[in-house]
């Protein structure tokens, strides 16, 4: 993985069609982390009941459209990708892909942060010293 860079040529074989069908493509980049890093509830392996599961780092490979038209792919297929890592002209920092296509975006969480901030401000204001009813009422001597 240390030698994988954008622009390198790649060949992909898919289990659906066997070894007779080879897709050709170009590495677009390497994802900035594996799946468990970005999980909302990442695994907690501090219990001692730990089974090591291999982490996979996503490598984005752009396949040739004309090959995909002849033999379409489906999500979830197993693949074997071979990358020619001998040409490493692109620097390693350029190998992080960005998910900018509309398929990779959602607006479902747009309001969550604003709602969370408003709720936090409400809780802080309700718990500030000097703002409660008890703090505003004068105390009589001897109370």
Kindly report the three-state secondary structure assignment for every residue of 16-52. CCCCCCEEEEEEEEECCCCHHHHCCCCCCCCCCCCCC
1 in any annotated domain? no
4 in any annotated domain? no
Number of domains in the chain: 1
Q: What does the alpha-carbon distance between residue 105 and residue 114 come to, in Å, rounded to a whole number?
A: 19
141 in any annotated domain? no
- List, run by run, the mean pLDDT of 10-residue segments along the chain (143 residues): 86 91 90 62 59 68 92 89 82 61 68 85 85 53 53
Range of the domain at 108: 9-136
Q: What is the pLDDT of residue 76?
A: 85
Q: What is the pLDDT of residue 18?
A: 86
49 in any annotated domain? yes
75 in any annotated domain? yes
143 in any annotated domain? no
142 in any annotated domain? no
87 in any annotated domain? yes
How many Cα atoms sit within 13 Å of 47 on the Cβ side?
6
């Amino acid at each position: 993985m240390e030698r994988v860079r954008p622009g390198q040529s790649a060949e992909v074989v898919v289990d659906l069609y066997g070894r007779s069908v080879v897709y050709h493509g170009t590495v677009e980049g390497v994802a900035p982390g594996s799946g468990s890093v970005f999980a909302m509830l990442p695994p907690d392996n501090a219990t001692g009941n730990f089974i090591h599961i291999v982490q996979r780092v996503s490598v984005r490979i752009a396949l040739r459209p004309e090959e995909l038209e002849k033999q379409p792919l489906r999500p979830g297929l197993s693949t074997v990708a071979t990358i020619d890592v001998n040409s490493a002209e692109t620097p390693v920092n350029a190998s992080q892909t960005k998910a900018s296509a509309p398929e990779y975006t959602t607006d479902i969480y747009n309001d969550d942060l604003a709602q969370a901030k408003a709720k936090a401000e409400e809780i802080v204001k309700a718990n500030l010293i000097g703002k409660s009813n008890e703090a505003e009422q004068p105390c009589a001597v001897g109370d």
